Amino acid sequence: MTLEVVLITGMSGSGKSVALRALEDAGYYCVDNLPPELLLPFVALEQQSSVERVAIAVDVRSATALPLVPAQLRELRRGNVNVRPLFLDSTTDTLVRRFSETRRRHPLSSTPAPQDGPDGQRALVEAIELERELLAELRDQAHVIDTSVIRPSQLQAYVKSLLSAPVSQLTLVFESFAFKRGIPVDADFVFDVRMLPNPHYEPGLRDLTGRDEPVRAFLEQHPDVERMRSRIAAFIDEWLEPLARDHRSYVTVAIGCTGGQHRSVYLVEQLAAWFGQKRTALKRHRELDAG
């Protein structure tokens, strides 16, 4: 029996506890804030038990031992453990707002709690940026989930869908988004489709989405839409093999339009269906799922 280990890391305030609860609901044996020094002994112990799936959260509270983790993950893989690292991230502005609203102290902050005023805000931003530096190597080796503008229920659904994909093959994640709400920080590739004809300006289509037949019919009338779809597909297809050789488990392709409702949604649906014929392809609609 091969043990599956999900390692959850990420920025403080980005939703690691929410992700861990989602995995607990999905049947994983979960451990929060495990010191990195105990990672290998803990996994060895679980391999001797009947547990098949384990989720472990490691964060900056173990800052001095974090440099041990990348080598530990390589050792676990050599020992026939299926390791799936996830990194939860958010923009600095989002993290500042969350800490300020909850009045929680950042783990790297020297002050008791986020203080009002420019000095307190500056100290909080400095703590967040230091945390980014300390976690940079772990982020580079993990699949990143941007939690900046999603609700906890969305995050739980994202985590469960990611981990339902087979471990042994590269999984494509196609995500639609609205540029007006920011580019997803978890994107490996970003495509801007705002130059395509916009159904928003058609009164009968404005309240529909790219998943609705009238919007699909409208977009399929325009050759530029199919040309964009085929060019994006060809680009992704060309780089899948090099990405797989780089031991990537997930690749996120973000497609954005103005409102994240019509053009980007349509293209995500089309691309996920196309690639889903030959590999695992997941789809997200950031703005629609938030509704």
Residues forming the annotated binding site for ATP? 10-17
Q: Which two tokens stand for residue 270?
A: 């089309």
How far apart (Å, rounded) are the C-alpha atoms in residues 291 and 287? 7
Burial class (CB in 10 A: 0-12, 13-18, 19+), 126: middle
**Binding residue positions:** 10-17, 59-62
Q: Which two tokens stand for residue 85?
A: 């690292």
Q: Which two tokens stand for residue 161?
A: 């869908």
**Binding residue positions for GTP:** 59-62
Helix (H) or strand (E) holding 288: helix 286-289
In the block, which residue shows the tokens 């031992």? 65
How far apart (Å, rounded) are the C-alpha atoms in residues 103 and 95? 12
Q: Contact at 8 Å (CB) between 123 and 111?
A: yes
How far apart (Å, rounded) are the C-alpha atoms in residues 225 and 266? 10
